[in-house]
Structure 1
């Protein structure tokens, strides 16, 4: 349960961070069978699907390396489902997949736009 609480706290920090950078948070923890998107936001014309990663003692590069291709596929599949279920044409919509990493006790945030 500690990991879930830590994850939720990291997601809340990321949502606040994105709002400070003028993104509009649409949804947090969007889930379907077989997938989840941590944060769905709007950045101008873009639909932004964010994966949040928190690590206690790792570098930002290590966080990105831990995102496996199958996880990217699950996030993309979940994003596709969200768009279709909200009558948004995935072929014409501007879509971006970002990663936001929080590392260490200082909770330093690094934002990787269009990460995958």
Structure 2
């Protein structure tokens, strides 16, 4: 049987990237069950990254996925700071431009899927331009 990939030096432990990828996949599957259609994942630009891009009807949805083991410091949703929001907006602007669009021509929104412990919270239209 194959072992779980690790990068932490501790057998059986996922590194930070692997943990993030696993939660993003869980969010993607959960959102697909809610009726959204997958477009892209882990879109990287100069100053930021978008975890998931999906469609809900005619709306392009840019999604930030967050995970926290507990709500001790405000939970996963609280970790999406104003600075992070600005980076997401800029990255989305660049992605739209590369796909012949803009915030003026494409219906879009910014959602957060937050996992705090075993709880999931979907914040639709969590922030905007």
Q: Would you call these one fold, judging by a TM-score over 0.5?
A: yes
Higher RCO, Cα 8 Å, sep 6+:
1
Kindly report structure 1 stretches of 4+ aligned residues shifted beyond 4 Å: none
After superposition, the C-alpha distances for 1:53-111 in whole angstroms (9 at most, x for unaligned) are 0011127x63222211111010000001111100123202111000001121x3x3210
Size of the aligned set, in residue pairs, is: 114
Within-5 A mapping of 1:1-116 = 1=7, 2-58=15-71, 62-104=75-117, 106=118, 108-116=119-127
Tell me, which stretches of 5 or more residues in structure 2 are unaligned?
Answer: 1-6, 8-14
TM-score, normalised to structure 1, is 0.91
Alignment correspondent of 2:4? none
Aligned 8 A contact 2:75 2:116 in 1: no
Partners in 2 of 1:27 and 1:12 — Cα distance? 12
Question: Relative to total residues, which structure has the larger helix share, 1 or 2?
Answer: 1
Helix, strand or coil for the counterpart of 1:27?
strand
Partners in 2 of 1:67 and 1:115 — Cα distance? 10
Higher alpha-carbon Rg: 2
Helix, strand or coil for the counterpart of 2:76?
helix
TM-score, normalised to structure 2, is 0.82
